[in-house]
């Protein structure tokens, strides 16, 4: 229950409402507990003694009881629902912020659908535990305690016979609870698998259709759905076994009550009305026990979701601000890598002893075979990952000793696969600097050679571009990304094969926009097409995670090494 207690901590801001909700629950339960006493008075005072005055009081009492019960039932339902919904919103916000802070390495290891499942499926299961189950748990617990108290008042000997069964019920709930929680964990994992498969298949729908794999994907989904069904049925089996087990134990208790209570009535130790009232309370006792067993089963399933959520919350944020980190002051753009070694895991070293020095305003190009480590260097500079050994410094500041926000705030990145949002063109460009005016956004678009095509869109800058910008061509999306980077106005710029996926005509337009972007900035260009880096101040050839050679275009051609080989291979193909 440790994680459930952690969840209840989120109720602290709403503790006054929670206390009021508990009061309403107790009062509503108290109204229910008064009804058996009415039956007692009806039998002993009205039917036996022919007391009309008591009959009138009972009639009024029933009406008043149900009015009071209705008022407090509304109060408990509204207040607990309000608290539960607010807590879930807070947890969902906390989860989303946590995912925003987790390092890129986490997302390398986990599917997008799995991550989404935490905020949808798992938090949804927590919502059930906090709202519906919490109301029922407090309601039934109040009825249970109240029934026991009234039973002890009516006949302590009968009460002791009844209470013998409670430890057996508790033991049964404990055994079943462990198994139900384990089954609940499997259910949440299967739900995450379904969400992941859906996200993967729908996001790749063009590939699915191009290979005519609709039936294949449907079969994959059906198989995953079947696994989810099997997990759910396992949980149903356990829950369905728990309830009749508890009911049987309650029936044993009622049997003792009927026999021994009848014996006491025959011997004149209690009245018939008192026995009927006692039996009613005993039934009231059996029902809460039965319902609490169901609540307990549902809570155990929800606990699996709660455990998953807090497992994410407790993940270490490996790339975060260190104690005493300072804000990186406005930089000139001097970058040095000092004997940098980096490994994504213990088995694979991506970079080994890489050293380079870049002066402000220089253009540095990285070339080499696929998987050589070019993109790794680009990911280390903005500290998407931390170096394993060595150091990266900007204007003499070790990037691990400055705040992540101040570091990345002065670095612009234009990736190969442009990430756009399903809002308008204006808002996508403004993402580079949220306080930018419309005029500044338009100026950035003009510098990126994007203004002309934007003006031709149905609503100009107010045109929604669809999910991931699918309503635009590749070249248009890339120019939007360049405009966004221009608006940010970074001192350091990283271009990760920004034109490699474009056709020749689009590449020329985008390259012209990039030339505008590169002016006056320290830039790192990962190049696929060597023609885009002939003018680089330095070209670093990366091979096997090491710097194989470096120099200008002319110098590297003259060396006749790996760069020269790449150049001749590429341009012989183009010829």
Q: Which two tokens stand for residue 157?
A: 């000997």
CA–CA separation, 75 and 20 (whole Å): 8
Which residues, in sequence order, are CB contacts of 401 under 8 Å at separation 6+? 322, 324, 325, 326
pLDDT, tens digit only, all 575 positions of the chain: 677 777 777 888 888 888 898 888 888 877 777 777 777 777 776 666 677 777 788 788 778 888 888 898 888 888 888 888 888 888 888 888 888 888 888 888 877 777 887 877 787 777 766 666 777 777 777 777 777 787 777 777 777 766 666 677 667 767 776 777 777 777 777 877 787 777 777 767 766 766 677 788 888 888 888 888 888 888 777 777 776 777 677 677 677 777 777 777 777 777 777 777 777 777 666 667 667 766 776 777 677 778 888 888 888 877 888 888 899 999 999 999 999 999 987 777 889 999 999 999 999 999 888 888 888 898 899 998 999 999 999 999 999 999 998 998 899 888 777 778 878 899 989 988 889 999 999 998 888 888 888 999 888 999 888 776 777 887 888 888 888 888 888 899 888 876 665 666 666 777 777 777 788 889 999 887 787 788 889 999 998 889 899 999 898 898 888 888 888 887 765 54
Exposure b/e, 442-479, CB count within 10 A at least 16 = b: bbbbbbbbbbebbeebeeebebbbeeebebbebbbbbb
The structural domains of the chain, with segments of one domain joined by +, span 2-198+232-313, 331-410+491-506+515-575, 420-489
Q: Beta strand 411-414 with 492-496: parallel, antiparallel or unpaired?
A: parallel
The answer to whether residues 228 and 157 touch, using CB atoms and an 8 Å cutoff, is: no
CA–CA separation, 368 and 540 (whole Å): 8
The pLDDT, as a whole number, for residue 335 is: 93
The pLDDT, as a whole number, for residue 395 is: 93
The pLDDT, as a whole number, for residue 39 is: 72
351 has which bridge partners?
Answer: 342
The pLDDT, as a whole number, for residue 22 is: 85
Q: Residue 551 region, left (φ>0) first, then alpha (ψ -120 to 50), else beta?
A: left
Separation in Å, CA 433 to CA 31, 440, 483: 60, 10, 11
CA–CA separation, 494 and 250 (whole Å): 71
The answer to whether residues 470 and 205 touch, using CB atoms and an 8 Å cutoff, is: no
Which residues, in sequence order, are CB contacts of 442 under 8 Å at separation 6+? 451, 461
Cα 224 vs. chain centroid, distance in angstroms? 21
Picking from 367, 301, 314, the residue whose alpha carbon sits closest to that of residue 524 is 367
The pLDDT, as a whole number, for residue 234 is: 80
The answer to whether residues 504 and 496 touch, using CB atoms and an 8 Å cutoff, is: no
If you classify domain 2-198+232-313 with CATH, what class do you get? mainly alpha
Instruction: Count the neighbouring beta carbons within 10 Å of the beta carbon of residue 226.
Output: 11
The answer to whether residues 184 and 235 touch, using CB atoms and an 8 Å cutoff, is: yes
The pLDDT, as a whole number, for residue 129 is: 67
- DSSP-assigned letters across all residues of 469-503: GTTS-HHHHHHHHHHHHHHH--SEEEEESTTTTS-
CA–CA separation, 461 and 527 (whole Å): 31
**Which CATH code fits 331-410+491-506+515-575?**
3.40.50.300
The answer to whether residues 197 and 221 touch, using CB atoms and an 8 Å cutoff, is: yes
The pLDDT, as a whole number, for residue 394 is: 94
Separation in Å, CA 142 to CA 34, 165, 212, 328: 13, 19, 60, 58
Which residues, in sequence order, are CB contacts of 8 under 8 Å at separation 6+? none
Could you give the count of Cα atoms lying within 13 Å of 70 in the half-sphere of its Cβ? 6
What single DSSP character describes residue 44?
Answer: I
Q: Same CATH topology for 331-410+491-506+515-575 and 420-489?
A: yes
Which residues, in sequence order, are CB contacts of 344 under 8 Å at separation 6+? 105, 108, 350, 385
The pLDDT, as a whole number, for residue 165 is: 65
Within 448-575, residue ranges assigned H as helices are 451-455, 474-488, 504-518, 553-559, 562-574
The answer to whether residues 342 and 376 touch, using CB atoms and an 8 Å cutoff, is: yes
The pLDDT, as a whole number, for residue 500 is: 60
What single DSSP character describes residue 46?
Answer: I
**Which CATH code fits 420-489?**
3.40.50.300
The pLDDT, as a whole number, for residue 499 is: 65
The pLDDT, as a whole number, for residue 334 is: 92
The answer to whether residues 563 and 557 touch, using CB atoms and an 8 Å cutoff, is: yes
Q: Which two tokens stand for residue 437?
A: 């005016």
CA–CA separation, 294 and 137 (whole Å): 10
């Amino acid at each position: 229950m440790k994680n459930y207690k952690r969840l209840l901590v989120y109720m602290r801001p709403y503790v006054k409402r929670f206390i009021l909700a508990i009061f309403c629950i107790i009062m509503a339960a108290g109204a229910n507990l008064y009804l058996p006493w009415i039956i007692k008075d009806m039998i002993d005072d009205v039917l036996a003694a022919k007391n009309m005055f008591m009959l009138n009081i009972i009639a009024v009492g029933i009406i008043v009881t149900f009015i009071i019960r209705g008022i407090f039932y509304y109060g408990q339902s509204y207040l607990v629902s309000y608290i539960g919904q607010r807590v879930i919103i807070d947890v969902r916000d906390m989860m989303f912020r946590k995912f925003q802070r987790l390092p890129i390495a986490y997302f390398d290891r986990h599917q997008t659908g799995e991550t989404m499942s935490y905020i949808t499926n798992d938090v949804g299961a927590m919502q059930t535990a906090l709202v519906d189950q919490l109301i029922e748990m407090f309601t039934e617990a109040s009825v249970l305690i109240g029934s026991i108290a009234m039973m002890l008042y009516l006949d302590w000997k009968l009460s002791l016979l009844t209470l013998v069964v409670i430890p057996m019920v508790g033991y049964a709930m404990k055994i079943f609870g462990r198994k139900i929680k384990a089954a609940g964990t499997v259910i949440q994992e299967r739900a995450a698998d379904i969400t992941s498969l859906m996200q993967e298949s729908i996001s790749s729908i063009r590939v699915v259709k191009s290979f005519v794999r609709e039936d294949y994907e449907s079969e994959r989904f059906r198989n995953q759905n079947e696994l989810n069904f099997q997990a759910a049925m396992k949980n149903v089996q356990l829950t369905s076994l728990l309830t009749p087990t508890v009911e049987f134990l309650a029936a044993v208790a009622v049997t003792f009550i009927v026999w021994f209570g009848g014996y006491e009535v025959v011997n004149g130790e209690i009245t018939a009305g008192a026995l009927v009232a006692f039996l009613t309370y005993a039934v009231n006792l059996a029902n809460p026990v039965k319902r609490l067993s169901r609540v307990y089963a549902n809570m155990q399933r929800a606990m699996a979701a709660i455990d998953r959520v807090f497992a994410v919350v407790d993940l270490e944020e490996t790339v975060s601000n260190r104690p005493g980190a300072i804000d990186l002051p406005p930089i000139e753009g001097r970058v040095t890598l000092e004997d940098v070694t980096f490994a994504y895991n213990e088995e694979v070293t991506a970079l080994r002893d890489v050293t380079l020095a870049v002066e402000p305003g220089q253009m540095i190009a990285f070339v080499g075979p696929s998987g050589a480590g070019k993109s790794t260097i680009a990911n280390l500079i903005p500290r998407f990952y931390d170096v394993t050994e060595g150091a990266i410094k900007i204007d003499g500041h070790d990037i691990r000793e400055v705040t992540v926000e101040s570091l990345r705030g002065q670095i612009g990145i234009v990736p190969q696969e442009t990430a756009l949002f399903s809002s308008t063109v204006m808002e996508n460009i403004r993402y580079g600097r949220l306080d930018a005016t419309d005029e500044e956004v338009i100026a950035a678009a003009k510098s990126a050679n994007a203004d002309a095509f934007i003006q031709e869109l149905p609503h100009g800058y107010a045109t929604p571009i669809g999910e991931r910008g699918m309503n635009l061509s590749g070249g248009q999306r890339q120019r939007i990304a360049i405009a966004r980077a221009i608006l940010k106005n970074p001192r350091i710029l990283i271009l990760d094969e920004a034109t490699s996926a474009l056709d020749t005509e689009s590449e020329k337009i985008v390259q012209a926009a990039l030339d505008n972007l590169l002016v006056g900035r320290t830039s790192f260009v990962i190049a696929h097409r060597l023609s885009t880096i002939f003018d680089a101040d330095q070209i670093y050839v990366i091979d096997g995670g090491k710097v194989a050679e470096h120099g200008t275009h002319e110098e590297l051609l003259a060396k006749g090494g790996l760069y020269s080989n790449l150049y001749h291979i590429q341009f012989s193909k183009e010829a």
